[in-house]
Amino acid sequence: MKSGSNYAAKRLTDDELYHGPILFNGEIYFPSSYDFPDYNNSEFMGKIKPYYNNWIVDLINQDQVIVDKTDENYTHIKTGGGDDATRFTKAKYLENKEHVNEILEKYSKFVLCNDNYNGPVRLPIDKEIIIELENRFGEIEYKVEDFDKYKEIFYIYVNSPSGHVEGLKGEIHAIFDDPIVF
């Protein structure tokens, strides 16, 4: 993605999705809450190409990809900067059976979320439903074209909100700091 431009990654969905997946280094990444190393181990890789791009957006775009220099696989990345940074994790890592089993052993309550600006959804889900989904679908291999005709994207987080944020229409939404599961 970096060849011939200052873009290191690109957004796979439009801006109505608050934290949509991104493509970086040939891999799909989803928003997550994994800790990122201190600044001294971070390296700027380039900017993120917006879903809708034109010269004005390109001019003001400050959305950047930051990696952990000590992780040659770039399992987790950070976008933006400062307090506005969003962390992302490789889809392959999140879908890994050992990772999912570890989360299922540690937690029992989950929440199905979408981060759509038009009105986020937060639905509690019991562990048994997650286990049934895992048994039915197993590890999912995501492809870039999977997001070409999306209507909405839902993530499953551990249900342990750490705070709240006000939405665009004044509504209050939970912030989830524990790892995304799917």
Examine residue 1 and state whether it is found in any structural domain, yes or no. Answer: no
Same domain membership, residue 85 and residue 108: no
Query: 77 and 14, same structural domain?
Result: yes
Using a cut of 0.75, tell me whether the model's pTM lies above it. yes
Residue 75 token pair: 């399992």
Q: Are residues 120 and 44 in the same domain?
A: no
Same domain, 35 and 60: yes
Sign of CA dihedral 51, 55, 60, 66: positive
From first to last of its 182 residues, what are the pLDDT tens digits of the chain?
Answer: 544 468 899 888 876 555 788 999 999 998 887 777 777 788 989 888 888 777 776 677 677 898 999 999 999 998 876 555 788 889 898 888 888 888 888 888 888 887 665 666 778 888 898 889 888 888 888 889 988 877 777 788 887 655 554 555 555 555 554 545 55
Domain range for residue 169?
93-176
The per-residue pLDDT for 74 is 94
Say whether both 18 and 79 belong to one domain: yes
Q: What DSSP line would sit under the chain, residue for residue?
A: --TTSSEEEEESS-TTBTT--EEETTEEEEEE------GGGEEEEEEEEPSS--HHHHHH---EEEEETT-TT--EEEES-GGG-EEEEEHHHHH-HHHHHHHHHH--EEEEEE-BTT--EEEEEEHHHHHHHHHHH-S----GGGGTT-S---EEEES-EEEEEE-TTS-EEEEE-SPB--
